Amino acid sequence: MNKRPPHIKKLIFTDCKGVALILVIAITGIVSLVIGTMLTQYIMHRYSIKASIEKLQSFYTAEAGIKKTIYDLTRDPAKGINWLLSSRTDNQPLEEKVFYQNDATAEISITDDCGFLDVKSRVKGKHPKTIEVLATGVVPEKLRYNLSLMSARPLILPAGAQLGSSSERVKIRLNQELILQGGSIDGIKEISMAPFPVLRFQTFSNSIFYLNKLLSTPKDFEAELFSPQVFSPKKPFPSKRIFVNDAILIENTNFDSLWYAGNDLILASTAEVQISGSLKMNNVTIVAVGAVKLLDQVDLRSSKIYSMSSIELRKNAHFSGVLIAPDIKVAEKAQIFNPSTIYCGPPFNYSKMVFDNELPIYCSIIDFCPPKKALIEISEKAKIEGFVYSIVPIRLRGEIRGFVYCQGFYDEPVSPDTTNTNILSGSIKPPESLESISIPIVFQEIRDFKIFRWQEF
C-alpha cells in the first residue's frame, strides 16, 4: 500500500482543524443570533404586554370616570343635578379620583347640551384615553302623572275625549274637580294644589347662546362661503365645519340609492336650509337664521337643528335629536324617534308648534313661552308618545301617550290669544313602554339617566 507522506498528513489535519473552527464559529453565531432574537422578542413581548396593560388601565380609569360622575349626579346630595354648571362656551374640567385607595384620576367635563347630558372623561399620560357619552333623563316616579293640570277652570271632557281606557288606567292630578260631558275616564284621580316641577330652562338658554354664537363667528369655521350652496353626491361637503353667508340646499335626487352625506358636521347659514331627497346624516348640528326644512326620505339622527325662524319636517323625513325654533311643524309621514326634544322658550318670546303627523312620533315637548303668545296644536290624526311640559294651554284633538303637564286645554274656535276653555277633545293614555320615553335634564327630580351614545377616542 502507498502511504501518504508526513507533510500531506499534516496538511489534511490542519485543514480539518480549520473547518472545525469555522463550523464552531458558525454554530456559535447562529446560536447567538437565535438567542438574541428570542431575547428581543421576549423583551418586545414584555413591553407589548405592559403597554396593553397600561392602555387597559387607561380605559378602565376613563370608564370609571363616566360611571362615577353619573353616580354622583344622581346619588350624591352635595352635587345632584345642580352640579351641571358648565356650558359649551364655559366648560372647566375637573380632576376626579375614580378608584378607592388608588391614585388614578380622570379629567371630567360635564356639559348641558340642549337638554342632554354630555360627560367626557379623559385620562392623560403615556397612553391617553377619552370616553364621551351623551345621556338623557329617565322619567322619575314623582313626575309619572299622565296628566297634571293647574288651571283657573275645571277640566271638561266632551263626547269622544278620553283619559285612559278600559284596559289602561291613568294617573291624573287636577287642582279642580273634573266635569264629564260625554267623555270617559278610567284611572286614579287626585285633587291637589301641588305646583308644577320647576324647569331648569337655563340648559336650553345656555345652549341657544352657544348656537347663536356659531351664527355670529364665521372665522371659527373651517370654510366660509359667500353664495348659495348646493351639496350632493357629486359635490360633497368640503370640510366638517362650514359657514355659508346664504342659503344651503343638501339633496340627493336619486331616490334609488341612499347617500350617506356625512357625520359630525356643523353647518351654519345666514338664510334658509333645505335637506331633501334620499340621504342620511348623523351627529349633525345645523344653525340657521332662516327656515330649516327636512323633506322626502331624509334621515338625520342624533342631531341638533336650531333656527331663528322655523323648522319643518314633512313627507317621510326621519329625525332624532333636538329641534329648537319659535315655529315648528311636523306633518305628513314625518317621524321623530326617541331620544328627542322639541323646545321653545327663552330667549324666544312666542311659539307655535303644530303636529299634523300621520305616524307616531316619540319625543319630549317643552314650551316655556308667554301664554298669550304660544300655541301647541295636536291634530286628530297625530299621536305623540313622550313627556309634554307647557305653561300654555294645549289644543289636543289627537292622542298623547305619556305624561302631560300643562295649564289647560282649548278647543275650537281658536282666537288670536288662544283662549283657555279647558276643553279636552283628544285622549291621554299611559305610554306603551317607559323605555320609549326619555326627558331632557331640566328637572331637579331626575335621579337616573339613559346613555344613548358612547364614543371612545
Strands 292-294 and 266-269: unpaired
Higher pLDDT: 29 or 108? It is: 108
Q: Positive or negative CA dihedral for 148, 154, 160, 166? A: positive
Residue 133: pLDDT over 70 = yes
Question: pTM of the predicted model, to two decimals?
Answer: 0.86
Residue 353: pLDDT over 70 = yes
71's CB contacts (< 8 A; 6+ apart) are none
The three grid cell numbers given for residue 37, joined into one nine-digit string: 432574537
Question: Which position has the grid cell 306603551?
Answer: 432
Residue 189: pLDDT over 70 = yes
Q: Which residues pair with 268 in a beta bridge?
A: 243, 287
The alpha-carbon radius of gyration of the chain (Å, integer) is 33
Return the minimum-mean-pLDDT range out of 146-155, 243-252, 282-291.
Answer: 146-155
Residue 417: pLDDT over 80 = no
The Cβ of residue 172 has, within 10 Å, a number of other Cβ atoms equal to: 21
Residue 47: pLDDT over 90 = no
Is there a cis peptide before residue 347, judged by omega within 30 degrees of 0?
A: yes
- In our burial notation (b when 16+ CB lie closer than 10 A, e otherwise), range 192-228 reads eeeebbebbbebbbbbbebbeebbeebeebeeebeee
Q: Positive or negative CA dihedral for 176, 179, 184, 186? A: positive
Question: Which position has the grid cell 372665522?
Answer: 219
The CA-CA-CA angle for residues 199, 285, 121, to 5°, reads 70
Confirm if 332 and 358 have CB atoms less than 8 A apart: yes
Tell me what the mean pLDDT of segment 62-82 comes to. 74
Alpha-helical segments (H) within 133-231: 202-216
Tell me what the mean pLDDT of segment 88-107 comes to. 69
Give backbone dihedrals phi and psi of 334, rounded to 5 degrees, phi first.
-65, 145
Confirm if 301 and 320 have CB atoms less than 8 A apart: yes
Q: Count the alpha carbons within 13 Å of 133 in the hemisphere toward its beta carbon.
A: 19
What span, in angstroms and rounded, lies between the C-alpha atoms of 334 and 312?
10
Whole-number Cα distances in Å, 199 to 115, 196, 290, 368 = 11, 9, 28, 9
What span, in angstroms and rounded, lies between the C-alpha atoms of 155 and 153?
6
Give residue limits of the domains in the chain. 1-137+448-457, 141-447
Confirm if 271 and 291 have CB atoms less than 8 A apart: no
Q: What is residue 83's predicted lDDT score, i.e. its pLDDT?
A: 55
| 290-334 pLDDT tens trace | 999 999 999 999 999 999 999 999 999 999 999 999 999 999 999
The overall average pLDDT reported for the chain is 86
Q: Which amino acid is at 407?
A: Q
